[in-house]
Amino acid sequence: MAEILGLGLSHYPGPVSPARFWSRMVQRNMEVGRIPREVYEDKTKWPAAMLAEWGTDEGLAAAEEHRRRLLAGYKVLSDELNAFNPDLVVIWGDDQFENYKKDCVPAFAVGIFDEVISYPYGGGEQVFKTKENVWGLDPETPLTIRGHKKAASQLARHLIEDQFDIAYSLETRHKRGLAHSMNNTVLYLDYEKHGEGFGYPIVPVFVNCYGSDLLVGAAKMSGEGEDVLSPPAPTPRRCFDIGRSIARFFAASPWRVAMIGSSSWSHGSLTKKHNRLFPDLPADQRRYEELKDGSFRNWGRITEAEIDDSGQHELLNWVCLAGAMTELNRSVEIVDFVQSNLFNSSKCFALFPSGVRKTGDRTLAASARG
């Protein structure tokens, strides 16, 4: 049986940009029509915890602390990944109207590439209104991300034979290459070298997490959105089951594989009951408790209504990971759970160790746990 490592993390765009820009995302969401202007401007409508993060410096101190915890979490997972030294990395991530546009939005798609040239370093432009990045690089600096064409092609064939009508892509058309969920995952797991030292080929598996909110949410940020509902996302049950199928395929393969669920959890920008101002932190806390006690094995039973109500659309990437880790009978180690009202989403860092990992080889960083 192949050796498989599981990782859960966030691809939140913040760590690409200096922390002083992070609180701009709330204003940007107001400007594109996600948040009513009166809700944004009337701070008495903000939760007390959100006002505390805003403080007297418009969120700067809170952003610096949020950044510290995120980078500590990525460092723990990066160390585990490098110690594991996989042959390839499977990433479940969403494409937010980046490569999949109005002509075709698949529920799931596998990227079959030898390599992709991506341009992730200006990734704060849409959400933070800046192209400045923390590495001081020209935002048009390219990043080459290797693919594993053989594994991706065989995976697509396996999924079709296993009754999943999977789509696939042989090239990208987004101006920044791969979707930011993939680009940022690579950047953050090789943060000091801004992705250039990430030597593992990836197999990207795209999940249409945004579903009915795609055109009114993700597409609106790029100016291409419409006030109409698009069809729904794949159900949590389907995401869980495809995760199990992918785990079965790689467990029988000759490859040493890391599997990553890449997303934040509840998003303020997706939580309609909060006027898209702040996320559903109580719902995230429930998911965190489920993850901790092993009840992630039941995440296939989450309903679409629960996902939509809590703004947890991107959790579907983690549901795929949960299905895979359930199939492999893995337990979880929590690295950190970082909550925020001001910075759009809760972020979780988790590790599902390989069955051959020796107990005590690594300890989770206290700085990551906060």
Going from the N-terminus, what domains does the chain have, and what CATH number goes with each?
Answer: 4-358 (3.40.830.10)
Query: Which pLDDT does position 363 carry in this prediction?
Result: 41
Question: Residue 328 corresponds to which tokens in the numbers above?
Answer: 């492999």
Question: Residue 80 corresponds to which tokens in the numbers above?
Answer: 């585990």
Query: Which pLDDT does position 54 carry in this prediction?
Result: 97
Query: Which pLDDT does position 161 carry in this prediction?
Result: 98
Query: For residues 101 and 105, what is the distance between their CA atoms, to the nearest angstrom?
Result: 6
Question: Residue 280 corresponds to which tokens in the numbers above?
Answer: 């559903």
Residue 56 CB neighbours (<10 A): 6
3-state secondary structure of 134: coil
Backbone angles phi, psi at 257, to 5 degrees: -130, 135
Q: Which portions of the chain are predicted below pLDDT 70? A: 1, 217-229, 355-370
User: Which residues are CB-contacts of 154 (< 8 A; sequence separation ≥ 6)?
Assistant: 249, 253
Q: Model confidence over 227-267: pLDDT tens digits?
A: 666 889 999 999 999 999 999 999 999 999 999 999 999 99
Query: Which pLDDT does position 361 carry in this prediction?
Result: 39
Query: Which pLDDT does position 209 carry in this prediction?
Result: 95
Query: Which pLDDT does position 365 carry in this prediction?
Result: 37
pTM attached to this predicted model: 0.94
Q: Model confidence over 80-107: pLDDT tens digits?
A: 999 999 999 999 999 998 999 888 999 9
Query: Which pLDDT does position 225 carry in this prediction?
Result: 61
Query: Which pLDDT does position 362 carry in this prediction?
Result: 43
Query: Which pLDDT does position 102 carry in this prediction?
Result: 84
Query: Which pLDDT does position 227 carry in this prediction?
Result: 61
Question: Residue 156 corresponds to which tokens in the numbers above?
Answer: 């697509």
Q: Kindly give the pairing relationship between strand 202-207 and strand 108-111.
A: antiparallel
Whether the CB-CB separation of 94 and 267 falls below 8 Å is answered with no
Question: Residue 135 corresponds to which tokens in the numbers above?
Answer: 């590495």
The CA-to-CA distance between both ends of the chain, in Å, stands at 36
Query: Which pLDDT does position 214 carry in this prediction?
Result: 83
